[in-house]
Structure 1
Amino acid sequence: MKRSIQMIIVFLIMTSLLFFLNRFWSDKITFYTSIVTTLMVIFVGLVIFMENRHPSSTMAWIMILALFPVTGFIFYVLFGQNYYKRRVYGRKGEQDARAFLGIHAHRNDHAWEQFNEDQQLIFRLAQNVAHSPISLHTYTRILSNGDETFDTIIEELHKAEHHIHMEYYIYRNDCIGKEIQQILIEKAKLGVEVRFLYDAVGSYQLAESFLQEMRQVGIETYAFNDVKLPFFSSTVNYRNHRKIIVIDGKVGFTGGLNVGDEYLSRSKTFGFWRDTHMMLKGDAVRMLQFIFLQDWFHTTKQRLANPDYWSPQLLDVPDDGAVQIIASGPDNEFRTIKNLIFAMMTSAKKSIWITSPYFIPDEDIVTALKVAALSGVDVKILFPAKPDRWIPFFASHSYFPTLMEAGVEVYEYQKGFMHSKILIVDGNMATIGTANMDMRSYHLNFEVNAFLYGTESTQTLVSDFKEDLTESTIIEMDWVKKKSYPKRFLESAARLLSPML
């Protein structure tokens, strides 16, 4: 924050100087304005250039600064700096790695023989870049849409005996939010330890009175990356997009649904809300617990060393393929989830099926999809027909023509708003979680995904994808070519901003 404030102060001094010059030498103001603006663009441009970002991101920032110097400068101060990420999240990444080595030091490479070579390649990559163990003793169940998801969550919350850990990007003070809150309060009164972590930006509408009601019964509530001065802090750009529930260290939940009435299709704006969540029982819940406790430590500086959190007596569950829980964020230099998704795509022999509400891929993902489609792989993208945010919606559409020319099929979901975040490869590997198929999820947000190999849940995702296609229409190339020039311009302009979205 200190560096952001310093840059803002420099900007205000320069602006004040311009007003002073305008008052006494108004005939020369254009000249001085031009000089100051040029120097400001050159200075920030050099800073961006020396950071060795991706060329597309570098060019996007420089063009924004050149076209809109004042607005671009402020936007860079708020959203563009890498300083905070390197200083704070680099330290968090090191802490997470040390904690992982102390708790999950085992590997089970000998059990990989039952999986094919492509799956074993993903295993090795995940263990090397994410240090995440492969679980062969985890039960998973796909939860389709809000009713099934929240009914199951509420049922499991009522069973809690020792602790409940919750971490959400968006948590609303509405009907479903209050219902879950009352369960947490009831459990806290019975002696269950309840910890509640929410994102400061995603849940900015959460009233202090709502949180105080929880604190009064002993529930610990904290905001992740709390933003004290939203217009003067680069922390606003790094958000915790994770959705995690861990109950007694034995049952876990993650997926696409936040807590809000719209996820139960109660929104007049969106109508039916199509989404996917997942429940886990068994060994892989430990990794969800690990991610929560590390985020808790980052936020509160409280190290929870109770073995009941880290290594509880797990439920006896039948073997069902393999499961990996993968965390990714600005604290990980390897872009873990993105690289695993890329590896899955490049290993595809038959099919790549994608569902995402936001589709703003980087060049690696675009190339992987085009090469796969040109090689005869069945590549399908399922995307919402109506947006919740217009700029990402237009940016997403700018990527479709070149993919369609390579043979990728793009479908628009017509029944309601599509919010599921799923990738299925060859019908036997899949990932489900919080990460969208966009640059923000790959580079800026804290995300968590479950990777499934040969599980029954993978087949459920395959069936659900086929069912969703029946509620969708394919985008035809003729329709793309007939788009008006103003709409094409909007899509191209939105795409220009895509490295920053």
Structure 2
Amino acid sequence: MDKSKRGITRLVFSRIGIVTGLFLLQVFFLLFLFSAFENFLPQIWGGSIFLTATVVFYIVNCPMNSNSKITWLILILAFPVFGCLLFAYTKSDLGHRSLKERTEAVINNSPVKLEQEPNTLSNLEKLDKGIYNLARYIAKSTSYPVFCDTHVTYLESGEKKFEVLLKELEKAKEFIFLEYFIISEGKMWNDIYEILARKAKEGVEVRLMYDGTCEFKTVDSKFPKKLRRAGIQCKPFSPITPFVSTHYNYRDHRKIIVIDNKVAFTGGINLADEYINEKVRFGHWKDSAVMLKGKAVESFTLMFLQMWSLDGKEHNFDPYLKNSYPEKTGEGFVIPYGDCPTDGYKTGEHVYMDIINRATDYVHIMTPYLILDAEMENSIKFAAERGVDVSIIVPGIPDKKGAWALAKTHYSALISSGVNIYEYTPGFIHSKTFVSDSREAVVGTINLDYRSLYHHFECAAYFAFGESVMKVEEDFENTLKKCTKVTKESIKKEKLIIKIRGYILKVIAPLM
């Protein structure tokens, strides 16, 4: 499929395409009603009012994010028929139900459960009750335990991760698992593919899982066949098909590599040349990742196997989780965790908010998108108001102008509460990092936007009381030197068109 056809198909089956289609359907529906039922217009009008009032009453009383409620109310009151149809389509969420049933089946029927080592948890409780409580929450919401025998290496750039990754791939003896949101052919992918194909010939089991949107954006239709011919097992997550379904709303945004259940990588870096600055798109691309070595790698191995098994074809995880580790391979505590949009928990957002709420000295954040719901914005503002140094680095050159304009709508309120916002002058920030009080940090795939916090499959590594925490802080401070601080004066000088675009998009932000 050529690029023009892929672009048209992607537009038609995107959320914008569906919304536009429903809007046009409403127009034709109303014209039909006016022409065919002209004598019954009072009854039709009354029915429309009753339907709108019923839906509004339902929205006001249902458990839903407050920002989402406001968005739906505005949409339904402005376009009653269109709004009610779209709400019914979204609320029915047949795709969500199907995906939820499959994820629950995989997790609940998983042949392997990672057990929590009791001494690790009790030692953490003695050291820090707040982090202990967070570990218990993550265990409850995701079933992933806390480890104390894993070495964490923070990788402060895509170039550094790429260099280290190639060396680790060469050491693979048993299996290599890869799960990525974006794969694009170029130097990065070609160098990795050469090793994967060679390892597959040597008898190493190689599996690659990528998000189905890649087939419309970055790889052609022959990509899976090429990999399978090289002996690489390949599977797209939720491939796009010409059927309207809310299933497509849930994407696999994770970036995971596991090697022999001994080494794991995660972070913001996809398999494409812009992530290692071989290709310039938005100035300099700043990203980050972590490498884990030790027992905590088991969590990422299991995470991958569960996603791979959503089609119900994988049943035996044991061969991939058998390893012996030295009693002590690292310092501090590590919790790898996943975030699933169908489990009823908002693990990614809650971990971030817990770090913010417990901070006493500082919280330093790097994020490509700053599209906050009311709960997250209030946590950030309150932390700053009680004297915590809350500093956030965002892109100076955006990849999405709409998201950039939307982020700027939060600046004034955050700065007024004492939050420091910095724009990365050389280009684009794609790192997703939190670090607080020289004590705890998170590096992963989770952005501060609605898609990451509500709709995507995500993952991250939380770590505390280790040297790697200070490496994240050191990277933040070094990056800060290349940033420009946002001030009230600079906000006033912002172009009017950007402000207007941001405020319009803010109304529909939860639907983006």
Give the TM-score normalised by structure 1: 0.89
SS at match of 1:437: coil
Where does residue 141 of structure 1 map in the other structure?
153
2:500 aligned with 1:496, yes or no?
Answer: no
Where does residue 320 of structure 2 map in the other structure?
309
8 Å contact from structure 1 (residues 360, 438) kept in 2:
yes
SS at match of 2:209: strand
8 Å contact from structure 1 (residues 167, 245) kept in 2:
yes
2:244 aligned with 1:236, yes or no?
Answer: no
2:123 counterpart (111, 114, 119): 111
Within 5 A, what are the aligned runs for 1:254-403?
254-298=266-310, 300-314=311-325, 318-403=329-414
Identity between Structure 1 and Structure 2 (%):
28
Shift of 1:35: 7.8
2:187 aligned with 1:192, yes or no?
Answer: no
Shift of 1:393: 1.2
Separation of aligned partners in 2, 1:377 and 1:178: 45
Q: CA RMSD in A?
A: 3.2
Shift of 1:127: 2.2
2:175 aligned with 1:169, yes or no?
Answer: no
Unaligned runs of 5+ in 2: 1-14
Shift of 1:320: 0.9
Separation of aligned partners in 1, 2:64 and 2:188: 42
Shift of 1:12: 9.3
Residue type matched to 1:497 in 2? I
Deviations 1:452-492 (A, max 9, x none): 10111111111000000100011111222344544332221
- Alpha-carbon spacing, 1:100–1:414, altered in 2? closer, same or farther (3 Å): farther
SS at match of 2:282: coil
SS at match of 1:208: coil
2:430 aligned with 1:410, yes or no?
Answer: no
8 Å contact from structure 1 (residues 256, 419) kept in 2:
yes
Separation of aligned partners in 2, 1:413 and 1:172: 25
SS at match of 2:397: coil
2:63 counterpart (40, 49, 52): 52
8 Å contact from structure 1 (residues 253, 278) kept in 2:
yes
8 Å contact from structure 2 (residues 300, 336) kept in 1:
yes
1:221 counterpart (234, 245, 251): 234
Where does residue 106 of structure 2 map in the other structure?
95
**How many corresponding residue pairs?**
494
8 Å contact from structure 1 (residues 249, 308) kept in 2:
no
Residue type matched to 2:168 in 1? E
Separation of aligned partners in 1, 2:329 and 2:285: 32
- Alpha-carbon spacing, 1:50–1:117, altered in 2? closer, same or farther (3 Å): closer
Separation of aligned partners in 2, 1:377 and 1:42: 44
8 Å contact from structure 1 (residues 173, 210) kept in 2:
no
Separation of aligned partners in 2, 1:233 and 1:208: 22
Separation of aligned partners in 1, 2:85 and 2:242: 14
Unaligned runs of 5+ in 1: none
SS at match of 2:113: helix
SS at match of 2:222: helix
Shift of 1:297: 0.7
Shift of 1:102: 3.5
2:170 counterpart (154, 158, 163): 158
Out of 10-19 and 429-438, give the one that drifted further.
Answer: 10-19
Where does residue 123 of structure 1 map in the other structure?
135
8 Å contact from structure 1 (residues 8, 77) kept in 2:
no
Out of 264-273 and 275-284, give the one that drifted further.
Answer: 264-273
